Structure 1
């Protein structure tokens, strides 16, 4: 991004900074769910993504939904970071342990034993990417439907439908179909 002293350059800088302030909490939260105990790594991944976004800010503004463009960049940067790790699956599994507790709390699911918890972890990992993102965004990061939908460039009604399907899949995977219908407003 051209950061000249011209009014357009200042306006671009201000819009970029405001955009980052608005979305950075969700970016960091999501990065933490992907890189696990590597807290510093989550910060580095988000910082790298922000630099990438800064360089391409004018392109981001031309997108129909700039938040969805930034979300794709974040996921690319997380993927690149995971590719550099010796055991990326172990990193993601550790990260998803926090996702499980957040999901159970928000979804009001009570899992009594370790096999159910491990089953939920496996089921979350097996979800299609879109549904996995929805689970993390709405249940773990506590984003409202409209905000989560904007990141995924989808209508809120579609997000809710995908979330219901994800809940059903997760409940079936752990042998607790009774939990699927206990939807709470996310």
Structure 2
């Protein structure tokens, strides 16, 4: 299943341009490919440039540029993307990070990635917008702890860094959205879900079962196995919750965040956090006969 990683387009209308309208991204493009392709397309569509114009500077014919911007054909080499980024004034470092990850996901070797980067101008790691840095300071730890409920450590860290790279590329959209925190959380959630294991089209939470307080307190192998079985059933039920209720339960009951911190991370009102938690509890109580939820924090984790 492909998950879109850019939650919404900029509300400003794109400039009119001559020629045929650019077609949609192919459904076969994976989530990692879309992570850099969608913001690149948005930048192209907002630029007023034409494919004919870009083909004078980027070493591709107009038809091949169209294929590139739709995710068709062979996965593009970095030197082409680098030239395109220069023409469209796209930040090079986050784009390269996402391009490289998608190349590896597409089956390209690290040698191919390294050779594709040879001969290009050194990627200057210019800093992101100040608001992006401020958001990272506020949210990064919460993002990591949320991602850890679905992913092992290496994939967790990669998902968080990918989310901030995507956010950097689409930060104009984030600033134009009703709430930058909500926009950023949607990016983070989509990135984590794209990397997580799924069952019935829902992200799998079972890894969190090995780190519950109740499980750590068991002293006998029999108690550990019984608690593990109950936790697996509970987390399977949590994974069936609607997205926001799922997020609230993971952040409140598995990560131990206060309702105030959850509100800040999700970019939703406190009342909405409390309502989502109550609805999630009712669903879980109706779904599982014997249920013992991990306790909610009283207000110490910020």
Fold shared, TM-score > 0.5 on shorter chain = yes
Whether 1:80 aligns to 2:194 is yes
Post-superposition Cα deviations, 1:60-103, rounded to whole Å, max 9, x if no partner, equal 12222111111100112123223xxxx544x834323257x159
Change (3 A) 1:168 1:56: same
Aligned twin of 1:140: 254
- 69-78 vs 145-154, which deviates more? 145-154
Check conservation: 1:120, 1:174, Cα contact below 8 A.
yes
Tell me how far apart the structure 2 counterparts of residues 103 and 11 of structure 1 sit (CA, whole Å).
Answer: 43
In structure 2, runs of 5+ residues without a counterpart are: 1-88, 92-125, 217-223
Structure number with larger C-alpha Rg: 2
- Give the secondary-structure state (helix, strand or coil) at the position aligned to 1:159: helix
Post-superposition Cα deviations, 1:22-66, rounded to whole Å, max 9, x if no partner, equal 10001111111121xx21111111111111111122321222211
Tell me how far apart the structure 2 counterparts of residues 72 and 30 of structure 1 sit (CA, whole Å).
Answer: 13
Q: Runs (4+) of structure 1 moved beyond 6 Å?
A: none
Check conservation: 1:120, 1:173, Cα contact below 8 A.
no
Change (3 A) 1:98 1:30: farther
Aligned twin of 1:15: 131
Check conservation: 1:116, 1:174, Cα contact below 8 A.
no
Which structure has greater helix proportion? Answer: 1
Q: How many residues align?
A: 165
Tell me how far apart the structure 1 counterparts of residues 231 and 264 of structure 2 sit (CA, whole Å).
Answer: 30
Query: Larger relative contact order (C-alpha < 8 A, sep ≥ 6)?
Result: 1
- 166-175 vs 68-77, which deviates more? 166-175
Whether 1:56 aligns to 2:170 is yes
In structure 1, runs of 5+ residues without a counterpart are: 4-9, 106-110
Tell me how far apart the structure 1 counterparts of residues 244 and 214 of structure 2 sit (CA, whole Å).
Answer: 16
Check conservation: 1:134, 1:159, Cα contact below 8 A.
yes
Post-superposition Cα deviations, 1:120-139, rounded to whole Å, max 9, x if no partner, equal 12221222222111101112
